Amino acid sequence: MSFAPTSRSHSAAQSYAKVGVETGVAAADSHRLILMLFDGALLAVAKAGSAMEQKRIAEKGQIISHAIDIIANGLKASLNFAAGDELANRLAALYDYMCNRLLYANLKNDAAALNEVGRLLAELRSAWVEIAQDPAVASASKAAA
């Protein structure tokens, strides 16, 4: 007897994954939450590339919209402009640029623009991981959680 996934089992798997993400979010400190946003955006960009390659246009558009949402309403919204730091302004401009490139990638089916955003997100994620390895940042992040 073979097992063929039904919409019910697919729904159960999605529910399980959602609970896992929600549990991860509830248990994460602020630094880990930003990493989760980077991971989500990177995953969305990769999925959009696959959908673009396979000419699944509607799915590509939905996934790119999800990536834009993560960048604009997650990563950009998490910036601390009150600190008066020039870094927050520069990151906000970079996040806006990435959103614009994703829109362009969607409208023009431009894989290069999609890949560019993926590279930028990966570089920022890598820098964020390095920041987490700084003992002063790690202790401040734990204290804020």
- pLDDT confidence tier of residue 85, bands split at 50, 70 and 90: confident
Phi-psi sector, 113: left (phi>0), alpha (psi -120 to 50), beta: alpha
Query: How far is it, in rounded angstroms, from Cα 140 to Cα 136?
Result: 6
Please give the average per-residue pLDDT across 71-94, as a whole number: 92
Cα 66 to Cα 44: distance, rounded to the nearest angstrom: 7
54, pLDDT greater than 80: yes
User: Hey, is 5 helix, strand or coil?
Assistant: coil
All residues at 6 or more sequence positions from 101 whose CB lies less than 8 Å from its CB, including other chains: 113, 114, 116, 117
Beta-carbon contacts of residue 26 (< 8 Å; ≥ 6 apart): none
Q: Give 133's DSSP letter.
A: T
Q: Above 70 in pLDDT, residue 11? A: no
Distance CA 115, CA 2 (A): 39
Cα–Cα distance between 27 and 4 in angstroms, integer? 34
Question: CATH fold of 29-144, please?
Answer: Four Helix Bundle (Hemerythrin (Met), subunit A) (1.20.120)
In the chain, domain spans: 29-144
Task: Answer with the residue of higher pLDDT: 5 or 103.
Answer: 103
Q: What's the rounded Cα separation, in Å, for the pair 32 and 50?
A: 27
Q: Which pLDDT tens digit goes with each residue over 18-44?
A: 444 454 445 467 889 999 999 999 999
Mean pLDDT across the chain, nearest whole number?
82
pTM of whole model > 0.85? Answer: no
